[in-house]
Structure 1
């Protein structure tokens, strides 16, 4: 093993890089992409400088891996922009603070309101059908309401 490490060829690095890139295709989420490219980069350097010591090859591999991952992470952070539809995947959040008549009376702490074409399950104090309630919170698909003034 020691003898093998001391005589690493560029093919070895390219093979490791290719293997990592193939594994990335199977869903590693981008983590192996940068390590695979770092291995390919060390392979190119080993091709250009065949007498590169094995310790330096591993040092460069580690350095390139960290460098490419950090650069990608920084680029992703600066490229992120706020959504033009912040409530897109937070269904019901647009109802907070609005008032609705009760569609079904709140009995035992549960009732329903109709918002648009959707019936929502609500929790709050017992109130009769038709009472106006204000949405004050949300727990998943359950809206918390209070009697509107």
Structure 2
């Protein structure tokens, strides 16, 4: 049986691989950062082999907490999906706020708008073909527009 006095640098690296492996089955980046902290303790122990096991555990705990905190509160937003990712499978919602040119007029409050490779039914004030419109909302598959 291994006592705490016999912990070597490679033991921490095995723990790091184990923790990072757990991340595959329990995603959320917590075990990933704990694994990175364990690997860092292994490097510290490699550089300073006389480090006591109590200090090793302290380094591991501090690095784990700090790295998880930094990930959750500082770095996570940098890697978040762009705003358009929030409207996946809601194509019409991605057009809200954009401006387009009418190829067909809006008559009696209803018309068609050509957007990329598709046609959308639009509702808004009567406007001639060639007018610029801004999409202000969506109701099902109907885009609400106003003069831009």
TM-score range, shorter chain: 0.5 to 0.7
Residues 1:63 and 2:62 aligned together = yes
RMSD: 4.8
Partner in structure 2 of residue 9 of structure 1: 7
Show CA shifts across 1:75-101 (max 9, x none).
888x88xx9xx98988535842x4415
Closer, same or farther in 2 for the Cα pair 1:28/1:75, shift >3 Å?
A: same
Shift of 1:58: 2.0
- Higher share of residues assigned helix: 2
Closer, same or farther in 2 for the Cα pair 1:20/1:141, shift >3 Å?
A: farther
Structure 1 segments unaligned to the other structure (5+ residues): none
TM-score, reference length from structure 2 = 0.54
Partner in structure 2 of residue 34 of structure 1: 33
Partner in structure 2 of residue 49 of structure 1: 49
TM-score, reference length from structure 1 = 0.53
Q: Give the total of aligned pairs.
A: 134
Inter-partner Cα distance in structure 1 for 2:127 and 2:36: 66
Shift of 1:38: 1.2
Partner in structure 2 of residue 137 of structure 1: 136
Inter-partner Cα distance in structure 2 for 1:142 and 1:102: 15
